[in-house]
Structure 1
């Protein structure tokens, strides 16, 4: 594999032996390894290299790993880099702290090198999925009503200031640059809705600037207009071959210029709204396929849920239930990893696999094992080439209303939460299974425990714990646990949790919201 194609992993540890050990095995697995003995060197590596994953110790001189991770996550350029703590610390408080500051995983020293490599592969592939599919947040932002942003590039300083003044006066947010290189940097940082560039500029001309943008997949699709004193037929044809949106002549005057820009953006906005309307229609038509209308009555249990697609745009969360027999009910919660709206359609495939796996388990008879269900689904997903590169989390719970028993297993999912009625305590129960479809031979273990009268089980997807308040602070796992603990048992309900989460975020959500509550009341 060429060096430039290798994934880069930053290893930060003050123990040279650990650095060398990890580096050796990562190199054997075709990764490019960058080393740092402290957080200062870690920052240098982050700012000067493209990093695909960070492996970081916690206890170090000057700054500990938790603080380092928290600072890294405050930089928007590094928020999506997978971050794994490799440390001798192994208490529940340490693991909770790791998640609170933005860590993705936690490996305890002394570690199994195969486990470390497996987690590295899983996290890097997961981050690739996010990049390939994009985020539905970006999709929604591009469709929402907001002040539209424009970048204008022209070497004529007086003209650019005049046009900028008129555009800003008309309600746009216009930024200017006077050459192609500065314009490119501005486009990268500002991410405008429209780019306007002069054709004739010193150094790199407008056509060269357009080619620079076309080489960057993140910038190539931004609508582009050429600005010119006069456009010859050749200029026009050359421009349209470079996939531009339109031409505007400089001599038409500022008012006509602003009117044309407004018309172009309005036309683009209509096309975007049309796409959203079609998505909403599809969601309204098919949403019941991935989320039940209501949960069934099941003796000795009250089951309810809250599901809210992000900005009404179909997402990857799915919820389902299955009567196994009169005493057993299976509840399924999953999240397809791929935040573009297309991820929603993969949810149908997963729902179908799950139904097929459950039928197989039921036909086998005997004990209903969530782990066995997930194993069957995982095997089918892994062998299906159409969705083998799309991963999903999955939580499977089987309720026994005769023994008041809950059996649980998960694949790459968030913990489930058990609130006990007798002492108001909240316990986090975690699975150890890998994401569905990542490894054909993954094992999924069952966890079983009894439920007393009044106990409540909560199943959530990441839209809840990643919910942000107006100050940009995440609710987090601990925040959710405190929230359900402080709600009086007599008021503990889906509607009360919904009210509190909505209040925390001021009504703005960053992802799908899915929560299932299971209350025992024998």
Structure 2
């Protein structure tokens, strides 16, 4: 039975000969195998690489399989990795103890190697089926709630063209949120945020953060306050007082486009620096804010930047999913690599964002490690 190419298994056993036999058989079925000769070595591997399943020997020196499993359970980012015990033992109490630690199953080592391979693939198939079912339920829930964290239409702003691109992690609603808020014919706010976390856990909190951002913008502008720094400060203060959002952190980029003065004001909270492309000079400038993440400290201060775009200049606002990628050593981030890639495209093409979404921003889902979101503001002739 062939396994999906994306399935990665971490094999943990102090018997290197047995490990090599497993790798030879599992690789034949399409599994990508990583070996560890001890639980401690496996823990080091897990710092940079998260497998789809762990197959671990029960009896090992220094740290046995039970102790290894207990360690994983104590770590939030590791506890949900499917875990299977390997053992020569037939001790029911020991096996029961292992299964009580939320291990999926145990496999006796005396089992023919082909049967072990088949059983592991069946387990992976069942796990993947359950994941797909859960993902479908989350997507259906998002649709039925009819609450969107991404705009369905883009407002007209005199002198500027706004567009965005968003790709959720594994097509499951995640922690990135975008909002375009026209206040009147003159002012339009642009917001981009990223809840710390992935998939539906982060998606659940996007509605609270979005509601606070929208409310702060509306109340502030009704009182004549158009300061992005002041509005971000208000949002942060409210979030820090909300018990439901306690310990939930988010980045935020908030921009105000003034179509009368043809300027942009920007404040950031723990966000990535923006990139300003100067069309005449064909270069990228970094626009950086010093504000802390929303929800970190109630008394945090936020600064304000004034950005002037010349005709055909472009401004890019994006979340960390755009600079993160899966490398040989696990998740990696490279802001400069993304900036260089973007600049190369802007120099060598018509720099149309609609084409950019197809040619530059399309992400290999196997290498995607987070939600990807980017907003483009293009200065046009009036």
TM bucket (normalised to shorter chain) is 0.7 to 0.9
The equivalent position to 2:69 in structure 1, one of 207, 213, 234, is 213
CA distance change for structure 1 residues 421 and 293 in 2, over 3 Å: closer, same or farther? same
d(CA) in 1 for partners of 2:113, 2:96:
25
Which of 189, 201, 206 in structure 2 is aligned with 1:347?
206
Q: TM-score, normalised by structure 1?
A: 0.60
Which of 279, 293, 296 aligns to 1:438? It is 296
> Which of 138, 146, 149 is the aligned partner of 2:9?
149
Deviations 1:261-320 (A, max 9, x none): 333333223222322333343455568621101211223322111111123133222110
The equivalent position to 1:509 in structure 2, one of 346, 368, 375, is 368
On the 8 A contact 2:345/2:360 being kept in 1, the answer is: no
How far is 1:350 from its partner?
Answer: 0.9
Alignment RMSD: 3.7
Instruction: Choose which of 481, 494, 497 in structure 1 pairs with 2:356.
Output: 497
Query: How far apart, in 2, do the equivalents of 1:450 and 1:172 lie?
Result: 52
State how 1:280-299 maps to structure 2 within 5 Å. Answer: 280-283=139-142, 289-299=148-158
Q: Are the counterparts in 1 of residues 7 and 32 from structure 2 also a CA contact under 8 Å?
A: yes
Shift of 1:356: 1.1
For the Cα contact (< 8 Å) 1:309–1:512, is it kept in 2? Answer: yes
Deviation at residue 432 of structure 1 after TM alignment = 2.4
How far did residue 361 of structure 1 move?
Answer: 0.8
| Alignment correspondent of 1:85 | none
Task: Kindly state the Cα deviation for residue 171 of structure 1 after the two structures are TM-superposed.
Answer: 4.3
Give SS of 2:193's match.
strand
Q: Secondary structure at the match of 1:519?
A: strand
What aligned pairs does 1:101-500 form with structure 2 within 5 A after superposition? 145-149=5-9, 151=11, 153=13, 166-172=25-31, 182-189=37-44, 193-197=53-57, 208-216=64-72, 217-218=74-75, 221=80, 222-228=82-88, 230-232=90-92, 234-249=93-108, 253-283=112-142, 289-339=148-198, 341-365=200-224, 367-466=225-324, 474=334, 476=336, 478-479=339-340, 482-483=343-344, 485-487=346-348, 491-500=350-359
Larger helix percent:
1
SS of structure 1 residue aligned to 2:216: helix
- Describe the shift of the 1:470–1:304 C-alpha distance in structure 2 as closer, same or farther (beyond 3 A): farther
Q: Tell which deviates more after alignment, 472-481 or 271-280.
A: 472-481
Distance 1:176 1:402 in 2: 63
CA contact (8 A) 2:11 2:19 kept: no
Give structure 1 stretches of 5+ with no counterpart: 1-142
Within-5 A mapping of 1:2-17 = none
Q: CA deviation at 1:498?
A: 2.8
Secondary structure of 1:407 counterpart: strand
Distance in 1 (alpha carbons) for counterparts of 2:345 and 2:19: 55
Is this contact kept in 2: 1:226–1:244, CA < 8 A?
no
Cα 1:171–1:512 change in 2 (3 A) is closer
Measure how far apart 1:173 and its partner are: 5.3
